[in-house]
Amino acid sequence: MLDGIEHAGFAPVGFRTVHGFAYLGNLLAPLWDVDPLDGKILKKGYPYYPEVRQALDTLIFNGLVDLTKLEAKCINSEWVAEGEIGLNYKAARPLLDKLDVFSDEKAVRDFLKALAFSVSPFADELPHIVMSDVTWTDNRTGRGDVIDFAEYRNANYSLNVANAFDRALPTSMIPSRGEKLQFYIHLLEKRASVLRS
């Protein structure tokens, strides 16, 4: 994820931005025919993956990710550690190069780069934009429920919306998967701005 974020030029990023990016990546991975890193999420105040946080802590401890800022923040009446992180390319490059040998890993990296470029115009607002996602805001799942969009693909409303662009455009203008990503992210940003006003 951080490699894609670095390529798109919006690093360093906050922890919440990384979790929001991971959430969108998990939702939209099927567009790229790659498996979600995690197909379930506990619906709490905002998207949060404990495994991602543990992985980031390990990467920071091992010097592969730079922590540039760390502070305690109260978010939705909950105190959390918030920081800004970026990939330490000098340390991470040898590992990233080895991953490119595996076609599945390369496909995931290509997808995450495409997603990062789609998100980059709204990177500063990503934690807020993600909160307006159609899968996240579905009122059939309440706070404390698990959203399982991998096992029940019909419950992945975000993917359904992204794929609906095929039907919304004339057949001579079938969008590429990259265009679907961009369309969905732009739609998400518009929805977030309407919900905020």
**What residue numbers bound the domain in which 182 lies?**
2-196
Greatest Cα-to-Cα distance within the chain, rounded to the nearest angstrom:
52
72: pLDDT confidence band, cut at 50, 70 and 90?
Answer: confident
What phi and psi, each to the nearest 5 degrees, are found at residue 145? -85, 160
The pLDDT assigned to 1 comes to 94
| Segment 77-103, tens digit of pLDDT | 777 778 899 999 999 999 999 988 898
Domains in the chain, number = 1
**Per-residue pLDDT averaged across 35-50, rounded?**
86
Please report the DSSP string for 55-90 in residue order: HHHHHHHTTSEEEEEEEEEEETTEEEEEEEEEE-HH
What count of other Cβ atoms lies within 10 Å of the Cβ of residue 113?
Answer: 17
pTM of the model: 0.91
pLDDT at residue 40 is higher than 90: no
66: pLDDT confidence band, cut at 50, 70 and 90?
Answer: very high
CB contact at 8 A, 133 and 25? no
* Two tokens, residue 137: 């805001």
Pairing of strands 146-148, 78-87: unpaired
Residues of the chain above pLDDT 70, percent: 96
The pLDDT assigned to 121 comes to 95
pLDDT at residue 53 is higher than 80: yes
